[in-house]
Chains A and B, each alone.
Chain A
Amino acid sequence: MAVKIKDELNVVGKSVLKVDGLSLACGKAKFVDDYELPECLVCKVMASPFAHARIKKIDKTRALQIPGVVEIITHEDIPRVPHTTAGQGYPEPSPYDTFTLDNKVRYVGDRVLAVAAETEEAALEALRVIEVEYEELEPVLSARDSMKEGAPVIHDEPEAHVIIPVPYEPERNLAAHVDFKIGDMEKGFAEADVVLEKEYETQYAQHCPMEPHIAATWLDENNRLVILTSTQVPFHVRRIVAERLQMPIGKVRVIKPRIGGGFGTKQEVLVEDVCAFLTLKTKRPVKYEMTRAEEFISSRTRHPQILNMKVGAKKDGTLTAISMKIIMNTGAYGSHALTVMCNSGSKILPMYNKVMNVDFCGDTVYTNMPVGGAYRGYGATQGAFAMEVIMDEIARELNMDPVEFRKINHIRSGEGSPVFAALGEGKAGVEQKIGSCGLDRCIERALEEFDWEGREERRKLAPPGKKRGFGMCILMQGSSIPEIDMGAASMKINEDGSFNLLVGATDLGTGSDTVLAQVAAEVLGISVDDFIVYSSDTDMTPFDVGAYASSTTYLSGYAVKNCAEKVKMQILKAAGDMLGVDPYDLTIENKKVTDMNGNSVTIAEVARRALYERDQHQIGAMASHITHKSPPPFAAHFVEVDVDENTGFAEVKKYVCTIDCGTAINPKLAEGQCEGAILNGISYALTEEYIFNKKGRMMNADFGSYKIFNTADLPEMKVILVPTYEETGPYGAKSVSEININGALPAISNAIFDAVGVRLRTAPFTGEKILMGMLGKNNGDPQVKPEEEAAAEEVPEENNAAEENNSNGNGVNNNNKNNGSENRKDKEGLSGEPASYGNYPAKKKKKR
């Protein structure tokens, strides 16, 4: 059964209509809130008004007297189970530092208690009258403050721990640490003609799915807990909620209906647990839907990062060394604290694989601020900003065209990078050589489409009062987490030749139900309409890790292909019996099985025979898949920006994206993924940010003051798919969903510099920042508070010292802690080397 070559494909590569498209357009498709649940209670959660406080007393007497209030739960009413809300594979690489409800609140918006009531009004009234007595604690409101000697400890509870051997020191607010070194940095920088060291900073942002987090829970007729939830990870929800409730996994069923977008924030178990506790207490259905303000304040965000980059290059454009140091703020809980930070390196550094001297050091720290989590791009967004801007800066230093500079240095097919093996997700990575890489063609196509050569002419066409600039960047991501993620599918035939396709993979609006059906249809020579696709229900569908890490097409798609191949064999065998020929002499196409003489039986006839007539059996199969690679999709982004000379306001005029996602199983859906990611990226680059008051409260938690782009802000946008064939993917496919959110930050920053000579290293690029830059007040560099300047300056020196200490083993700093008698396995760096904690202020180490 040879794989068909590409031009013979009938269903794959075609923009077939989304299987749930019409139902959605007719308002029929059901989201969580569209299910009628008789006698359902409304859940509301009280949010902490303080960034850091201990709960001394909660008085619920008055609230319980309000008519309609049925149940109130506080930390005193439920078991205290440390866990992570991150919906990752088990064992999760995120620390177990969260409790459904706790006696301490760690950020403004943290959960205090939950109410279940007959009506929303009664629940809200209860929240108003419940008296909570707090003991306020000093809050930590920046990543740098969190790292200071004597900073308040956010996780002082003894239960906080990690369940895999990675560094974790909550006693000094360290949620995760990774470092590695390849080659000889000193030599690398010595060989360079130009060395640049710059600092970049990215901001808080929210995913803003149009449907907020929502879950409903009830007990079924067998007293099992059913959770209907808007999630990207139904199987992780089942496991994590069962653990929190301390009940067997088999007693929990999770159903995912249609989902109104997720982008990572629904890879998080945030609403299901409170609902479930209230259902267990009241024996009634309970629904909890976050308000938009809760979605901003109390759900998950993009982790802000401070990235220190040092890059050396020779006059001819050869890179000699790259150093990347990251301080990541995970907020009050360490959701994805390790892996997002790792990804900032692992999805970024391999792009420039010619350079043999690379070091990486990342520290993720707790603060009393909103909690970070998975967000489309997953650290690569932050990393790409720093890397692709410093590459522009270096190219300009060298007087080279930024495109030519990248062509000299970027990774190509057949090549590897030591970074792949050095940086994984919670354990060492998996070595890989790049299979398909269409980056050269992406760049060529983008140059053409964008007319990069003609840019000087276009610059002159800027309207009066505006300056026009051009910027670009190149990108890579991954496709699934190799040797960790697993996807599975099952399929069975019905007597009319239709098939049930059950996938644990989670369509959250991406169109994966359609894409997966296309893969199966291609194998079986039928059409997408012949499938009844169902995703996902932990009682019905086989296991799948869920929709994250750009894995569904590449990983679950292959599971579907494996499954369809098994079913195909069964069909051929039955058809062979019917036609009296060897199954291997049969072809399956156009809903028929045909032998060499042109005799055929339809798949429906095969199904009827198998189900009713002879040798009766159910034609059907289940199959799964894991991957040993995470083949990167590649992209080139080119952008044209006009900057208003009076206001500094930057407007994106034109955006060209060329993308190699391998085979696009459904080109139109793939384009849609790109367009959505690009616009989200532009919106993040130009406007989206959290505004905090002095007490750590987010002040702009609504769409009026937190602006996400609408049609009024739309630039001319062009997405071009540049096909390649990835041998390890289903029909050559890789992934497409995340990569393109990463381009806007660097490409726009580079274009703004090109327009007005202001280098923006702190996002977002507001008119105010650009104007200040133009007036020479602040060249876009991150603001460093005066009292921190001294400490910040000392860092590089001390880093070197710490590194030496590591290598000769006689360090008198924190590293000792790892090497000495207190050695805990979980304190070691991923590289196996003791952690150097290179981002921590120097003073701290000297004192020890």
Chain B
Amino acid sequence: MIIQVKINGIDKEWDVDPGMILLDLLRDKGYKSIKRGCDEGYCGACTILLDGQAAKSCVMLAGQAHKRSITTVEGLGTMDEPHLLQKTFVEHGAVQCGYCIPGMLLSSKALLDENPNPTEDDVKEAIDGNLCRCTGYVKQIEAVLDTASIMRGEN
């Protein structure tokens, strides 16, 4: 089956088995920022944005992405021009091993796109599907709140 996706703003057509796991497909296609932590929908390391909503790609089939738009961290920002979230995560010391970070960044982005003025509880809820074993989440929550306030022009 030919799958059409818009990934990080670029239209792609891939001839794949629609029953293939979406995570496997995307990693095969070179989107290595998407990580595999459990393959069972629990850890959030494989989070992508599907039409702007955070989704766990390890429990989705390739066919489910047909005619939809996908954002991965590769499309969020680059090392030369990082997205504000990427920058604040680093500045707040929110990145340790970094394995959970792409997923967490995307969940955070989905939140901020929808709610530019989140409370601490909103942030906690938005990233509660992203497990991190290195940090105590403290600095990640700070980073998201800080990003929101910079985006609102307060900082």
Residues of A within 8 A of B (CB): 15, 17-18, 20-31, 33-34, 207-212, 258-261, 263, 289, 291-292, 508-511, 668-669, 671-672, 674-676, 678-680, 702-704, 708, 710-712, 714, 717
Point out the residues of chain B lying under 8 angstroms from A671, CB to CB. 93, 139
Contact in complex: B96, A511 (CB < 8 Å): yes
Point out the residues of chain A lying under 8 angstroms from B91, CB to CB. 17
Nearest B-chain residue to A670, judged by Cβ: B93
A255 vs chain B, min Cβ distance (A)? 17
B6 within 8 Å of A (CB atoms) = no
CB within 8 Å of A: which of B120-136? 123-125, 127-136
Contact in complex: B101, A24 (CB < 8 Å): yes
Which one of B90, B105, B123, B136 lies within 8 Å of A717 (CB-CB)?
Answer: B136
CA distance A259 to B97 in the complex (A): 6
Which one of B27, B73, B137 lies within 8 Å of A711 (CB-CB)?
Answer: B137
CB within 8 Å of A: which of B34-77? 34-40, 42-43, 45, 72-74, 76-77
Contact in complex: A712, B35 (CB < 8 Å): no
CA distance A49 to B123 in the complex (A): 42
Point out the residues of chain B lying under 8 angstroms from A668, CB to CB. 92-93, 139
A33-B32, A292-B37, A508-B97 are known; give 11 further A-B pairs, CB within 8 A.
Answer: A23-B79, A29-B98, A210-B43, A211-B97, A261-B133, A510-B97, A668-B93, A675-B137, A676-B133, A679-B135, A679-B137
A-B CB proximity, top 6 nearest? A27-B33, A509-B97, A24-B98, A675-B136, A260-B99, A703-B42
Point out the residues of chain B lying under 8 angstroms from A20, CB to CB. 98
Contact in complex: A509, B96 (CB < 8 Å): yes
Contact in complex: B98, A672 (CB < 8 Å): no
Point out the residues of chain B lying under 8 angstroms from A25, CB to CB. 73, 82, 86-87, 89-90, 95, 98, 101-102, 105
Report the tally of A-B residue pairs with Cβ distances under 8 A. Answer: 176
B110 within 8 Å of A (CB atoms) = no
Contact in complex: B99, A261 (CB < 8 Å): yes
CA distance A712 to B82 in the complex (A): 28
Complex A-B: 6 CB contacts under 8 Å: A209-B97, A510-B97, A669-B93, A674-B136, A703-B40, A703-B43
Contact in complex: A27, B96 (CB < 8 Å): no
Which one of A22, A33, A258, A292 lies within 8 Å of B97 (CB-CB)?
Answer: A258
Contact in complex: B99, A292 (CB < 8 Å): no
Contact in complex: A710, B38 (CB < 8 Å): no
**Residue among A21, A208, A258 with the highest chain B CB neighbour number at 10 A:** A21
Nearest B-chain residue to A677, judged by Cβ: B136
A655 vs chain B, min Cβ distance (A)? 9
Which one of A30, A289, A672, A710 lies within 8 Å of B139 (CB-CB)?
Answer: A672
Point out the residues of chain B lying under 8 angstroms from A208, CB to CB. 131, 133
Which one of A26, A30, A207, A211 lies within 8 Å of B77 (CB-CB)?
Answer: A26
B112 within 8 Å of A (CB atoms) = no
Contact in complex: B74, A27 (CB < 8 Å): yes
CA distance A668 to B136 in the complex (A): 13
Nearest B-chain residue to A17, judged by Cβ: B90
Contact in complex: A210, B93 (CB < 8 Å): no
**Residue among B100, B105, B131, B136 with the highest chain A CB neighbour number at 10 A:** B136
CA distance A755 to B89 in the complex (A): 38
B138 within 8 Å of A (CB atoms) = yes
Nearest B-chain residue to A718, judged by Cβ: B138
Contact in complex: A712, B131 (CB < 8 Å): no
Contact in complex: A676, B79 (CB < 8 Å): no
B155 within 8 Å of A (CB atoms) = no
CA distance A24 to B95 in the complex (A): 8
CA distance A692 to B103 in the complex (A): 32
Contact in complex: B32, A27 (CB < 8 Å): yes
Contact in complex: B78, A26 (CB < 8 Å): yes
B2 vs chain A, min Cβ distance (A)? 22
Query: Given that A25-B89, A210-B43, A702-B40 are contacting pairs, would A711 and B35 also be in contact in the complex, using a CB cutoff of 8 Å?
Result: no
CA distance A15 to B139 in the complex (A): 13
Which one of A26, A34, A263, A675 lies within 8 Å of B79 (CB-CB)?
Answer: A26
**Residue among A29, A263, A676 with the highest chain B CB neighbour number at 10 A:** A676
Contact in complex: B128, A27 (CB < 8 Å): no
Contact in complex: B37, A712 (CB < 8 Å): no
Which one of A18, A26, A29, A703 lies within 8 Å of B131 (CB-CB)?
Answer: A703
B141 within 8 Å of A (CB atoms) = yes
A702 vs chain B, min Cβ distance (A)? 6
Nearest A-chain residue to B130, judged by Cβ: A710
A26 vs chain B, min Cβ distance (A)? 5
Contact in complex: B36, A33 (CB < 8 Å): yes
Point out the residues of chain A lying under 8 angstroms from B76, CB to CB. 26
Nearest B-chain residue to A33, judged by Cβ: B36
B57 vs chain A, min Cβ distance (A)? 14
Point out the residues of chain A lying under 8 angstroms from B36, CB to CB. 33, 289
Point out the residues of chain B lying under 8 angstroms from A292, CB to CB. 37-40, 42-43
CA distance A86 to B147 in the complex (A): 43
Query: Given that A261-B134, A672-B135, A679-B137 are contacting pairs, would A22 and B124 also be in contact in the complex, using a CB cutoff of 8 Å?
Result: no
A417 vs chain B, min Cβ distance (A)? 31
CA distance A678 to B136 in the complex (A): 7
Contact in complex: A676, B90 (CB < 8 Å): no
Nearest A-chain residue to B140, judged by Cβ: A711
Point out the residues of chain B lying under 8 angstroms from A704, CB to CB. 40, 42
CA distance A668 to B92 in the complex (A): 8
CA distance A744 to B73 in the complex (A): 35
CA distance A207 to B131 in the complex (A): 13
CA distance A675 to B87 in the complex (A): 21
**Residue among B76, B89, B98, B130 with the highest chain A CB neighbour number at 10 A:** B98
Point out the residues of chain A lying under 8 angstroms from B77, CB to CB. 26
Point out the residues of chain B lying under 8 angstroms from A680, CB to CB. 133
Point out the residues of chain B lying under 8 angstroms from A676, CB to CB. 96, 132-136
Contact in complex: A30, B97 (CB < 8 Å): no
Point out the residues of chain B lying under 8 angstroms from A708, CB to CB. 131, 133
CA distance A34 to B37 in the complex (A): 13
CA distance A350 to B116 in the complex (A): 52
Point out the residues of chain B lying under 8 angstroms from A27, CB to CB. 32-34, 72-74, 102
Nearest B-chain residue to A27, judged by Cβ: B33
A719 vs chain B, min Cβ distance (A)? 8
B79 vs chain A, min Cβ distance (A)? 5
CA distance A93 to B37 in the complex (A): 32
Contact in complex: A672, B72 (CB < 8 Å): no
Point out the residues of chain B lying under 8 angstroms from A675, CB to CB. 135-139
Point out the residues of chain B lying under 8 angstroms from A22, CB to CB. 79, 82, 86-87, 90
Contact in complex: A210, B132 (CB < 8 Å): yes
A295 vs chain B, min Cβ distance (A)? 9
Nearest B-chain residue to A708, judged by Cβ: B131
CA distance A210 to B58 in the complex (A): 14
CA distance A676 to B38 in the complex (A): 20
Point out the residues of chain B lying under 8 angstroms from A678, CB to CB. 136
A260 vs chain B, min Cβ distance (A)? 3
Contact in complex: A510, B96 (CB < 8 Å): yes
Contact in complex: A211, B35 (CB < 8 Å): yes
B144 vs chain A, min Cβ distance (A)? 10
Contact in complex: B124, A714 (CB < 8 Å): yes
Contact in complex: B42, A717 (CB < 8 Å): no
Point out the residues of chain A lying under 8 angstroms from B73, CB to CB. 25-27
Point out the residues of chain A lying under 8 angstroms from B136, CB to CB. 672, 674-676, 678-679, 714, 717
Contact in complex: A31, B133 (CB < 8 Å): no
Query: Given that A676-B134, A717-B136 are contacting pairs, would A261 and B38 also be in contact in the complex, using a CB cutoff of 8 Å?
Result: no
Nearest B-chain residue to A716, judged by Cβ: B138
A685 vs chain B, min Cβ distance (A)? 14
A515 vs chain B, min Cβ distance (A)? 12
CA distance A703 to B43 in the complex (A): 7
Point out the residues of chain A lying under 8 angstroms from B102, CB to CB. 25, 27
Contact in complex: B98, A509 (CB < 8 Å): yes
CA distance A732 to B106 in the complex (A): 39
Query: Given that A25-B82, A708-B131, A712-B125 are contacting pairs, would A672 and B101 also be in contact in the complex, using a CB cutoff of 8 Å?
Result: no
**Residue among B99, B101, B129 with the highest chain A CB neighbour number at 10 A:** B99
Point out the residues of chain A lying under 8 angstroms from B94, CB to CB. 672
Contact in complex: B133, A207 (CB < 8 Å): yes
Nearest A-chain residue to B92, judged by Cβ: A668
